[in-house]
Structure 1
Amino acid sequence: MSVTLKAVKREDHARSTTRKLREGGQVPAVVYGKEKESKSIAVDSIELIKTVRDEGRNAIISLDIANDTPVDVMLHDYQLDAVKDELVHADFYIVNMAEEMDVAVAVRLEGEPTGVKDGGVLQQALYEVQVRAKPNQIPEEITVDISALDTGDILTVADLPKAANYEILDDTESTVVTILTPTTNDDVEGIDNEQGEPELVGEAQTERNED
């Protein structure tokens, strides 16, 4: 099931026109796909952000382009203004609902490990995995229960939940989570400093000229 997002065609690519679009709450964007002609469009910034937050990064979006035929797309990439923290451009990829595609899917940990309760430190090495599935069968996230993990235990890609409608492409031996036993306070601080969670798939980049 897809969610609808309204869009308008963008004919004028002048910098002044693009700036006015952004000032009016619109985001200039491009729609493209395999053997498909690319189109320049604009969508409402708030509506796009709301759609991604409510439906997930891999949501199927029915792009309702004014005076044109709606198309099923996924948000492929986006750029942010690093200073204003505002959307400045978006790329939408036209999907074929009958064909499998490869996308990044977040890994969500559930539960408090036994080893952490006993003083161990959780270290997550992998925050997302590559998944192959048809567009309408892509999981929003892959959840794994880590409650039973004890100090010294390692959870790998092979331990992640399986499903018939998607395939995880990462090396099965890749480490997802480790429960470590720190020996000194310095070890604890070092581990904590290494655990910064990365930004979403298709990392937001600083503004680049897409006019």
Structure 2
Amino acid sequence: MTVALQAKKRDNLLKSVTKEIRKAGDVPAILYGNEVEPQTISVNNIELVKTVREEGRNAIISLQVDNDHLDVMLHDYQTEPLKGELIHADFYAVNMSEEMDVNVPISVEGEAKGVKEGGVLQQPLYELQVRAKPRDIPEQITVNVTDLEIGDSILASDLKDGKKYEVLEDETATIVSVLVPDEQPSAEEAAGETEDAEPEVINEKSDS
């Protein structure tokens, strides 16, 4: 699905002008990529954030610049460290017929059998790098862990069949696993340690 986003050309790059752009609610940005000369633009802050939240980081955006409509993706962005506000964005014009490499978030679904039995679910990877044509890039990759028992894992190789994208991670990379819980001393062991300890002397009299 392609979503539309309006952009304005930005010719004056003075810091004072850029500051006014942000004050007006827009985000300074740069556009480059497939058959596009790099150009500076600005987009509405609220509309960009809404697009990314609703459609995902890898959404195909129909960016309107004057009378041109370009298929782009949000390639990168910068935020203000303290306030977390969006202060700059990079848009990459894509060729819809060519494959590209992107990172896709992983969504874990279900409650593992092993967790119900006391195991601990571990997720080493939160994103997977995949290769696909722009329209075939998934918003997220769902991994169902319901059948995992203690000691079981799901590897990158388990996700490769029947998809419109190629997973580029090492096939042996672990996405999720259920680990044996840390061993805790039993009640008998704890009692034994207490009995073996030297008793504390209360109000012991001094030899002096």
State the TM-score, normalizing by the size of structure 2.
Answer: 0.85
| Bigger Rg over Cα | 2
- Name the residue aligned to 1:58: 58
Cα drift, residue 178 of structure 1: 1.4
Contact map agreement 1:144 1:161 (CA 8 A) in 2: no
For the pair 1:7 / 2:2, whether they are aligned, the reply is no
- Name the residue aligned to 1:91: 90
Change (3 A) 1:183 1:165: closer
Alignment length (residue pairs): 184
Equivalent position amino acid for 1:52 in 2: V
Q: Secondary structure at the match of 1:20?
A: helix
Cα drift, residue 161 of structure 1: 5.7
**Partners in 1 of 2:161 and 2:103 — Cα distance?**
16
Q: Secondary structure at the match of 1:70?
A: strand
Higher RCO structure, 1 or 2 (CA under 8 Å, sep 6+): 1
**Partners in 2 of 1:4 and 1:104 — Cα distance?**
22
Equivalent position amino acid for 1:64 in 2: Q
Equivalent position amino acid for 2:15 in 1: R
**Per-residue deviation, residues 81-109 of structure 1 (Å, max 9, x unmatched):** 01111000000000000101010011111
Q: State, as a whole percentage, how many aligned pairs show the same letter.
A: 54
Cα drift, residue 35 of structure 1: 4.5
Cα drift, residue 184 of structure 1: 3.9
Contact map agreement 2:110 2:144 (CA 8 A) in 1: yes
**Partners in 1 of 2:74 and 2:36 — Cα distance?**
16
- Name the residue aligned to 2:42: 42
**Per-residue deviation, residues 165-192 of structure 1 (Å, max 9, x unmatched):** 211111111111111112246xxxxxxx
Equivalent position amino acid for 2:90 in 1: D
Residues 1-211 of structure 1 aligned to structure 2 (within 5 Å): 1-66=1-66, 68-160=67-159, 162-184=161-183
**Per-residue deviation, residues 117-176 of structure 1 (Å, max 9, x unmatched):** 011100101111111111011011111211010111111111226334211111111111
**Partners in 1 of 2:177 and 2:108 — Cα distance?**
12
**Partners in 2 of 1:182 and 1:145 — Cα distance?**
21
**Per-residue deviation, residues 27-73 of structure 1 (Å, max 9, x unmatched):** 0000000443101000000000000001111000000112x411110
**Partners in 2 of 1:28 and 1:21 — Cα distance?**
7
Q: 5+ unaligned residues in a row in structure 1: which ranges?
A: 186-211
Contact map agreement 2:160 2:167 (CA 8 A) in 1: no
**Partners in 2 of 1:56 and 1:96 — Cα distance?**
19
**Partners in 1 of 2:172 and 2:136 — Cα distance?**
25
**Partners in 2 of 1:74 and 1:131 — Cα distance?**
15
Equivalent position amino acid for 1:119 in 2: G
Change (3 A) 1:145 1:161: farther
